[in-house]
Chains A and B, each alone.
Chain A
Amino acid sequence: MDLVFIQLLNGVQYGLLIFLAASGLTLIFGIMGVINLSHGSFYMLGAYGALTLTAFTGDIFLALLIGVPLAFVFGIVIEWLFIRHLYDRDHLQQVLLTFALILIFNEAQKLLWGSYPHSVPIPSYLQGGVKISALLTYPYYRIAVAAFCVALALLMVFVIQKTRVGRIIRAGESNREMVEALGIDSRLLFRFVFAAGVALAATAGIVAAPLESVYPGIGEPILIISFVVVVIGGIGSVKGAFIGAILIGVADALGKVYFPAFSSSVVYALMAAVLIARPGGLFGRAA
Chain B
Amino acid sequence: MSTPAILAENINTHYGRSHILRGVSFRVAPGETVSLLGRNGMGKTTLLRTLAGLVRPSSGSIQLNGAEVTNSRASSRSRAGLAIVPEGRGIFPNLTVEENLTFASRANNKGERPWPLERIYSLFPRLAERKHHWGNELSGGEQQMLSIGRALMTSPSIFLLDEATEGLAPKLRDEIWATVKQITQSGIAAIIVDKNLNDLLALADRNMIMAKGEIMFEGTSAALRADEALIHRHLGV
Interface of A toward B, CB cutoff 8 Å: 167-168, 170-171, 173-175, 177-178, 180-186
CB neighbours (8 Å) of B92 from chain A are 170-171, 174-175, 178
Main secondary structure of the interface of A (DSSP, over half): helix
CB neighbours (8 Å) of A173 from chain B are 94
User: Are A183 and B93 touching (Cβ within 8 A)?
Assistant: no
Can you add 13 more A-B contacts, CB < 8 Å, to A183-B75, A183-B106? A171-B94, A171-B103, A173-B94, A174-B92, A177-B74, A178-B90, A181-B90, A182-B75, A182-B150, A182-B154, A183-B76, A183-B104, A185-B73
User: Are B90 and A177 touching (Cβ within 8 A)?
Assistant: yes
In angstroms, Cα B72 to Cα A185, docked, is: 11
How many whole Å from B217's CB to the nearest CB in chain A?
Answer: 28
Binds A, one of B4-12, B19-27, B61-69, B78-86: B78-86
Task: Identify A182's interface contact among B73, B93, B94, B104, CB under 8 A.
Answer: B104
How many whole Å from B5's CB to the nearest CB in chain A?
Answer: 18
Count contacts on B: residues with CB < 8 A to the other chain. Answer: 22
Task: Identify A184's interface contact among B53, B84, B99, B104, CB under 8 A.
Answer: B104
Which chain B residue shows the least CB distance to A178?
Answer: B90
Task: Identify A170's interface contact among B53, B75, B79, B94, CB under 8 A.
Answer: B94
In angstroms, Cα B154 to Cα A174, docked, is: 20
Interface of B toward A, CB cutoff 8 Å: 52-54, 73-76, 78-79, 84, 86, 90, 92-95, 99, 103-104, 106, 150, 154
Task: Identify A167's interface contact among B54, B73, B90, B99, CB under 8 A.
Answer: B99
CB neighbours (8 Å) of A185 from chain B are 73, 75-76
- 8 A-B pairs whose Cβ atoms sit less than 8 Å apart in the complex: A171-B92, A177-B54, A178-B90, A181-B54, A182-B78, A183-B76, A183-B78, A185-B73
How many whole Å from A136's CB to the nearest CB in chain B?
Answer: 44
CB neighbours (8 Å) of B73 from chain A are 180, 185
CB neighbours (8 Å) of B154 from chain A are 182-183
CB neighbours (8 Å) of B86 from chain A are 178, 181
How many whole Å from B153's CB to the nearest CB in chain A?
Answer: 9
How many whole Å from A159's CB to the nearest CB in chain B?
Answer: 14
Chain B CB within 10 Å, residue with most, of A173, A175, A177: A175
How many whole Å from B88's CB to the nearest CB in chain A?
Answer: 9
CB neighbours (8 Å) of B52 from chain A are 181
How many whole Å from A215's CB to the nearest CB in chain B?
Answer: 40
Which chain B residue shows the least CB distance to A172?
Answer: B92
In angstroms, Cα B53 to Cα A181, docked, is: 8
User: Are A184 and B94 touching (Cβ within 8 A)?
Assistant: no
Which chain A residue shows the least CB distance to B75?
Answer: A185
Which chain B residue shows the least CB distance to A236?
Answer: B94
